[in-house]
């Protein structure tokens, strides 16, 4: 009864017509407060796995000592990490010092008997360690005079690479990950049964060139695939066959191949790959650009490759002349193009500089969704180590932590530090202040919808009172790391050996180089995570609350026998609601699409276009929302309704802004 009496007054009726708007305003305020509070709280950092303690004196590099050391470390480490199996091979002084298998190639989770890892028989997928074979193939053709490292690659290709910068793109750039390509992941890994045409894959929707050649290290699978295709074009043989005949067969890697799927005679020897510690083995993965990661090999075969790279095999099995090997193992770019980034670790023609303890170490890691590997060579010590695992572990970074601990422990045990104590630079405090800010990886999508990932993948540099910097998360780690300046623009991890280098102009650092082939770039203020996430959360919250409030408002109106809203402006209101629903569905669609793409599963282009159509509704919705707001103001619809209309308009403007900034409307949906 009271409700009917209140409804009889114009004030009461107007107040109830604004119930939905009030609900929306209250809901948005609460959600935004929770978001801001959550954003202000520091994220809990994962604690690093302690490194293997270094011995007081160098260990004796013998088969017995290495076996005892590996046996004491790996079985427990694999069990703790939840990784089924691993294999390790070590070479020294021209011989295979040892090869060991641990855990299971097949853990029996699918009903069969568990199958132990055999370092000679069991086959693994070394992932991007395959790139060393591609680089070796390139250097063979350089040695023969068929290729030139500094000739523009257009001389060797049968399709054009889109250019956005002057200057040649050369094989030197491809092998050092400095050709300037943005990240591209579509088609990187497929399932068995899918066919691969290397030339077609590279020519179809190539990534955009976002950096001038030679200037910004940005790891690129596409660039390495291009190098492999040049081998194919110039040699006149399919890439897989060239590598088989000129590398694998020549040095006796009898259990290894780039063929996908595996040849029948070795297929049964393949280890199961376990993306998680509890799930079943994943299907055999088909690498879309074989030169970048399609190798299958045993640990003992990889030992043969290490010996070849160290120049320890006889003339008939030699892959490269001594001078060519030396060239391949030297830093390939200088400060002429890299500037002060060249003061730190630099790529050789295929290898990363992974030096430790004052000793030169070159190497390469590799990952598929299920396999994780690393290879390191100590050229002066005539030594190499290779480790491969067939699981990711409990968490995504467990395999990385384990193999880093293993390789660092090996170097510390057998080749301990020769470096004197480092001295902190007097410019440390000044340079730390110049470096402070937020950065994003140069290895990222910048022209496609996957550029959204940049908004949530940030590294923060904080200048500390003592002149050090806190980098969170630290490059190559998952936890905050403190660095001190040991030379102008060169920073070393406190208590560790990782190196950062900086490059900038004026009073601000613009780029931070690390790990030879990676760069962090300062984030443009417009793309700051706090700005982007605030706009996103606000917009989504407003649209959701508004959409949910509509049926509630209708129910309330019927229950209270309230008069319907005026017919004037009904079309505008309906169009606004349709556009709000489209924008909301688009956000959900993008979340699912991006999550799927980041797991290296392809998303149909038709589905992306449907999501884009919904996104366009959100953008176009600004027009009816603005008209509706103006109408409500003229009608004097009440503060609650006007506030709701303002919030909806601002939310749709926010959606439109995000659409433009993150390329959500670009017709080309390659990624």
Same domain, 398 and 474: no
Q: The tokens 């170490």 sit on which residue?
A: 361
What pLDDT was estimated at residue 423?
84
Same domain, 348 and 389: yes
> What digits encode the pLDDT tens for the residues 20-38?
333 333 333 332 233 222 2
**How many Cα atoms are found within 13 Å in the side-chain-facing hemisphere of 633?**
9
Q: Is residue 313 part of a domain?
A: yes
User: Token digits for 386?
Assistant: 């290779």
| Cβ neighbours around 659 below 10 Å, total | 21
Which whole number is the average pLDDT over 80-98? 97
Q: Is residue 479 part of a domain?
A: yes
How many domains, the chain? 3
Question: Could you give the CA distance from residue 440 to residue 458 in angstroms, rounded to a whole number?
Answer: 5
In 249-376, where does DSSP find H-type helix? 264-267, 299-309, 322-329, 335-338
Strand-pairing partners, residue 463, are: 469
> What digits encode the pLDDT tens for the residues 286-340?
999 999 999 999 999 999 999 999 999 988 899 999 999 999 999 999 999 999 9
Q: Give burial (CB, 10 Å; 0-12/13-18/19+) of 613.
A: middle
Q: Mean pLDDT for the chain?
A: 88
Q: Is residue 48 part of a domain?
A: no
pLDDT at 140 exceeding the cut of 90: yes
Question: Among residues 525, 556, 573, which one ends one of the domains?
Answer: 525
Give yes or no for a contact between 404 and 367, defined as CB atoms under 8 angstroms apart. Answer: no
Strand-pairing partners, residue 38, are: none
What pLDDT was estimated at residue 553?
65
Q: Is residue 475 part of a domain?
A: yes
Which whole number is the average pLDDT over 261-271? 96
User: Token digits for 168?
Assistant: 């040649």
What pLDDT was estimated at residue 21?
38
Question: Could you give the CA distance from residue 651 to residue 633 in angstroms, rounded to a whole number?
Answer: 18
Give yes or no for a contact between 17 and 565, defined as CB atoms under 8 angstroms apart. Answer: yes
The parent domain of residue 152 ranges over 63-413
Q: Residue 186: phi, psi to the nearest 5? A: -60, 130
Strand-pairing partners, residue 170, are: 152
Q: Is residue 148 part of a domain?
A: yes
Which whole number is the average pLDDT over 346-357? 97
Same domain, 406 and 452: no
Question: Could you give the CA distance from residue 17 to residue 646 in angstroms, rounded to a whole number?
Answer: 16
Same domain, 120 and 13: no
Question: Among residues 489, 508, 525, which one ends one of the domains?
Answer: 525
Q: What is the CATH number of the domain that holds 336?
A: 3.40.710.10
Same domain, 232 and 365: yes
| Confidence at 549, pLDDT banded by 50, 70, 90 | confident
Question: Could you give the CA distance from residue 665 to residue 651 in angstroms, rounded to a whole number?
Answer: 18
Same domain, 506 and 539: no
Question: Could you give the CA distance from residue 607 to residue 592 in angstroms, rounded to a whole number?
Answer: 11
Share of the chain above pLDDT 70, in %: 89
Share of the chain above pLDDT 90, in %: 73
Which whole number is the average pLDDT over 48-65? 67
Question: Could you give the CA distance from residue 188 to residue 146 in angstroms, rounded to a whole number?
Answer: 29
Q: How far is CA 317 from CA 29, 251, 302, 308, 311, in A?
A: 71, 5, 15, 8, 10
Angle at 271 (CA atoms; ends 269, 273), nearest 5 degrees: 155
Q: What is the pTM of this model?
A: 0.88
Question: Among residues 507, 525, 543, which one ends one of the domains?
Answer: 525
Q: Is residue 670 part of a domain?
A: no
What pLDDT was estimated at residue 550?
75
What pLDDT was estimated at residue 11?
32
> What digits encode the pLDDT tens for the residues 269-299?
999 999 887 778 999 999 999 999 999 999 9
Residue 141, classed as helix, strand or coil, is helix
| Confidence at 380, pLDDT banded by 50, 70, 90 | very high
Same domain, 198 and 272: yes
Question: Could you give the CA distance from residue 638 to residue 632 in angstroms, rounded to a whole number?
Answer: 8
Task: Point out the least confidently predicted range of 141-145, 395-399, 404-408, 482-486.
Answer: 395-399
Same domain, 536 and 499: no
Same domain, 215 and 266: yes
């Amino acid at each position: 009864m009271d409700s009917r009496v209140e409804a009889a007054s114009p004030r009461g009726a107007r107040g109830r017509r604004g119930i939905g708007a009030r609900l929306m305003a209250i809901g948005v305020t609460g959600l935004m407060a929770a978001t801001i509070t959550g954003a202000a709280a520091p994220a809990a950092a994962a604690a690093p796995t302690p490194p293997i303690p270094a011995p007081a004196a160098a260990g004796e590099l013998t088969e017995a000592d290495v076996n005892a050391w590996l046996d004491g470390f790996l079985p427990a480490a694999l069990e703790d990490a939840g990784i089924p199996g691993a294999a390790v091979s070590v070479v020294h002084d021209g011989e295979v010092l040892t090869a060991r298998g641990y855990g299971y190639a097949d853990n029996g989770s699918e009903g069969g008997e568990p199958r132990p890892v055999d370092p000679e028989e069991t086959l693994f997928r070394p992932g991007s360690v395959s790139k060393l074979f591609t680089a070796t193939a390139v250097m063979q053709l350089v040695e023969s005079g068929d290729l030139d490292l500094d000739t523009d690659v257009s001389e060797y290709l049968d399709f054009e690479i889109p250019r956005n910068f002057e200057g040649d793109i050369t094989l030197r750039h491809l092998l050092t990950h400095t050709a300037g390509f943005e990240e591209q992941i579509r088609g990187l890994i497929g399932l068995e049964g899918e066919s691969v045409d290397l030339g077609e894959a590279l020519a179809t929707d190539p990534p955009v060139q976002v950096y001038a050649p030679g200037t910004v290290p940005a790891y690129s699978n596409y660039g390495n695939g291009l190098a492999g295709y040049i081998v194919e074009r110039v040699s006149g043989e399919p890439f897989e066959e060239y590598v088989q005949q000129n590398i694998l067969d020549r040095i006796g890697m009898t259990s290894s191949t780039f063929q996908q799927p595996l040849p029948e005679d070795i297929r049964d020897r393949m280890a199961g790959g376990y993306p998680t510690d509890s799930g079943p083995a994943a299907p055999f993965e088909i690498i879309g650009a074989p030169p970048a990661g399609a190798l299958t090999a045993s640990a003992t075969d990889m030992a043969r490759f290490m010996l070849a790279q160290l120049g320890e095999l006889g003339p008939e099995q030699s892959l490269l002349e001594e001078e060519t090997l030396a060239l391949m193992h030297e830093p390939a770019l200088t400060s002429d193009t890299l500037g002060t980034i060249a003061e730190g670790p630099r790529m050789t023609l295929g290898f990363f500089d992974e030096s430790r303890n004052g000793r030169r170490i070159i190497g390469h890691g590799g990952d598929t969704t299920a396999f994780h590997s690393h290879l390191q060579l100590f050229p002066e010590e005539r030594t190499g180590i290779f480790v491969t695992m067939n699981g990711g572990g409990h968490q995504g970074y467990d395999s990385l932590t384990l193999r880093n601990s293993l390789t660092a422990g090996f170097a510390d045990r057998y080749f301990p530090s020769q470096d004197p104590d480092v001295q902190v630079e007097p410019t440390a405090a000044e340079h730390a202040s110049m470096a402070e800010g937020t950065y994003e990886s140069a290895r990222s999508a910048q022209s496609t919808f996957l550029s959204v990932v940049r908004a949530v993948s940030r590294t923060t540099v904080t200048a500390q009172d003592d002149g050090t910097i806190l980098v969170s998360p630290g490059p190559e780690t998952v936890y905050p790391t403190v660095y001190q300046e040991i030379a102008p623009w060169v920073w070393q991890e406190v208590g560790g050996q990782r190196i950062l280098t900086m490059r900038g102009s004026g009073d601000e650092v613009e780029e931070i180089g690390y790990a030879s082939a990676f760069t962090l770039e300062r984030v443009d203020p417009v793309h700051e995570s706090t700005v982007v996430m605030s706009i996103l959360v606000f917009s989504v919250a407003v649209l959701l609350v508004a959409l949910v409030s509509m049926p509630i408002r209708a129910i309330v109106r019927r229950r209270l026998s309230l008069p319907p809203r005026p017919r004037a402006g009904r079309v505008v209101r309906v169009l606004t609601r349709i556009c709000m629903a489209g924008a909301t569905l688009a956000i959900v669609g993008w979340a699912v699409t991006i999550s799927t793409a980041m797991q290296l599963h392809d998303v149909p282009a038709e589905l992306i276009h449907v999501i884009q159509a919904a996104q366009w509704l959100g953008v176009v919705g600004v027009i009816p929302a603005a008209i509706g707001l103006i109408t409500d103001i003229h009608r004097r619809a009440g503060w609650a309704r006007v506030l709701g209309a303002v919030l909806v308009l601002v939310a749709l403007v926010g959606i439109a802004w995000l659409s433009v900034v993150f390329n959500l409307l670009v017709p080309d949906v390659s990624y």
